[in-house]
Amino acid sequence: MIKASLIEDDNERRAADLAVDYDSLGERLDRRGIDIDKVKDRVAAYGVAIPSWGVGTGGTRFARFPGRGEPANVFDKLDDCGVIHRLTGATPNVSLHIPWDKADPAELRAKAEEHGLGFDAMNSNTFQDSPGQALSYKFGSLSHADPAVRRQAVEHNLECIEIGRAIGSTALTVWVGDGSNFPGQVDFTRQFDRYLEAMSAVYAGLPDDWRLFTEHKMYEPAFYSTVVQDWGTNLMIAQHLGERAFCLVDLGHHAPNVNIEMIVARLIHAKKLGGFHFNDSKYGDDDLDTAAIDPYRLFLVFNELVAAEGKPGFDPAHMLDQSHNVTDPIESLMVSAMEVQRAYAQALLVDRAALEGAQEANDALMATAELKRAFRTDVEPILAKARSDKGAAIDPVAAFRASGYRDRVAAERPEASGAGGGIV
């Protein structure tokens, strides 16, 4: 896939500069009472999952422009995910989507092991009709008026759990497109009751060591109302279902300017924060690359997460969920994984005692300055050192471009069509 010698040679050329930069940053952090090696070790231990659909080129409601050498099946996707992890050392798990990634579980495990990858949460799909499906989801799935459609959607989710068990996953993420496009089209209460009843049946099939994540989304594909529209409804669902049900926060699934870091804090307080789908947005659910637009917001989310580390039961799942329309998906995912690591590293630099002191003293200026000081610190040497220590690339994008991987797979894989896409 990527030759070890290529990474070693590229790292060799950058090692001296990195050593100088790392030592310099180490000295400056030492003055703030921070041990750079400890921060580096925590960053090195951090991982964010890759969604299998992320390595394909995305699309919009209007069109999809396929990239070169797009994966033709789940095994190609796992190869691409293997490259991302090989070069960044930051993406040890892949999240599969059923039925798109349906395959023999033993073969899936073998391919993942080949790349040192594990499997993150399983994702069900009742937002589109699949070939051979008996009943349509055009008017909903888990909340559909027809009990036979709801049953079909429940069975699909149970099948996702079965496949997940066979490959070592321990979580199911459910996002539905159910909702309405017209005022009056549905009765909000009856629709929600039907959804809860169906989700209870899914929850009843959850293995004891699994977690169930529900993902809220304000709009799209339903444009007037969605059945799980925001974190309030999501919290109601998790509390209704039981202790292994948690809320998943996709950063793009909120109205512009919503205070997402505060939502994160509230869900932590309720012990119901299940995890994240990281991406970025300017106007709505844009699915732009993580931290492409607002890295400070991502930092503020991680500030809440670092503050909550060590609390009982606090173990949110982290995944990227973005759509790559004008970049090479492998490059975008590598950069985004590093952006998430960067936000984590910056959040680790916050002097929590100083912050709390300023908060308790009503010193708004110093409190916000403490956050800014951590955010402004260029932690790149920490990330690069964490990568080189584990044999990953100091500069993953440069190494990827030098490897010729995209040219190789473009020659081997069939040309993709412009149809399809799919970002949840």
d(CA 366, CA 354) in angstroms, rounded, equals: 9
In the complex, minimum distance from the CB of residue 250 to Mn ion, in angstroms, rounded to a whole number: 4
In the complex, minimum distance from the CB of residue 60 to Mn ion, in angstroms, rounded to a whole number: 16
d(CA 183, CA 381) in angstroms, rounded, equals: 53
Percent of the chain as helix, strand, coil, to the nearest 5:
50, 10, 40
First to last CA, the chain: 29
In the complex, minimum distance from the CB of residue 209 to Mn ion, in angstroms, rounded to a whole number: 23
d(CA 325, CA 308) in angstroms, rounded, equals: 35
In the complex, minimum distance from the CB of residue 54 to Mn ion, in angstroms, rounded to a whole number: 10
Vertex 37 angle, CA 35 and 40, to 5°: 115
Question: With respect to Mn ion, which residue has the nearer C-beta, 47 or 275?
Answer: 275
DSSP string, 215-256: E--SSSSSSSEETT-SHHHHHHHHHHH-TTEEEEEETTSS-T
In the complex, minimum distance from the CB of residue 286 to Mn ion, in angstroms, rounded to a whole number: 12
d(CA 342, CA 323) in angstroms, rounded, equals: 21
Cβ contact 126:142 at 8 Å: yes
Interacting residues toward Mn ion by CB under 5 A: 250, 277, 321
Question: With respect to Mn ion, which residue has the nearer C-beta, 253 or 387?
Answer: 253
Backbone φ/ψ region at 174: left (φ over 0), alpha (ψ -120 to 50), beta: beta
Question: With respect to Mn ion, which residue has the nearer C-beta, 101 or 250?
Answer: 250
Question: With respect to Mn ion, which residue has the nearer C-beta, 289 or 321?
Answer: 321
Question: With respect to Mn ion, which residue has the nearer C-beta, 277 or 387?
Answer: 277
Question: With respect to Mn ion, which residue has the nearer C-beta, 101 or 321?
Answer: 321
Question: With respect to Mn ion, which residue has the nearer C-beta, 89 or 316?
Answer: 316
d(CA 326, CA 374) in angstroms, rounded, equals: 32
Residue where the block lists tokens 């169906």:
198
In the complex, minimum distance from the CB of residue 215 to Mn ion, in angstroms, rounded to a whole number: 6
d(CA 211, CA 244) in angstroms, rounded, equals: 5
In the complex, minimum distance from the CB of residue 405 to Mn ion, in angstroms, rounded to a whole number: 27
In the complex, minimum distance from the CB of residue 370 to Mn ion, in angstroms, rounded to a whole number: 32
Q: Output the CA–CA distances (angstroms, integers) from residue 101 to 93, 97, 105, 419, in the order listed.
A: 15, 6, 10, 17
In the complex, minimum distance from the CB of residue 386 to Mn ion, in angstroms, rounded to a whole number: 27
Q: What are 82's two structure tokens?
A: 């293997």
Contacts of 260-266 with CB under 8 Å at 24 or more apart are: 260/297, 260/301, 261/297, 261/300, 261/301, 261/303, 261/304, 263/231, 264/301, 264/304, 264/305, 265/304, 266/231, 266/235
Cβ contact 344:315 at 8 Å: no
In the complex, minimum distance from the CB of residue 20 to Mn ion, in angstroms, rounded to a whole number: 40
Alpha carbon 295 to its chain's center: 16
Question: With respect to Mn ion, which residue has the nearer C-beta, 84 or 317?
Answer: 317
Widest distance between CA atoms in the chain: 66
Cβ contact 413:69 at 8 Å: yes
Phi first, then psi: give them for residue 334, nearest 5 degrees: -65, -45
In the complex, minimum distance from the CB of residue 287 to Mn ion, in angstroms, rounded to a whole number: 8
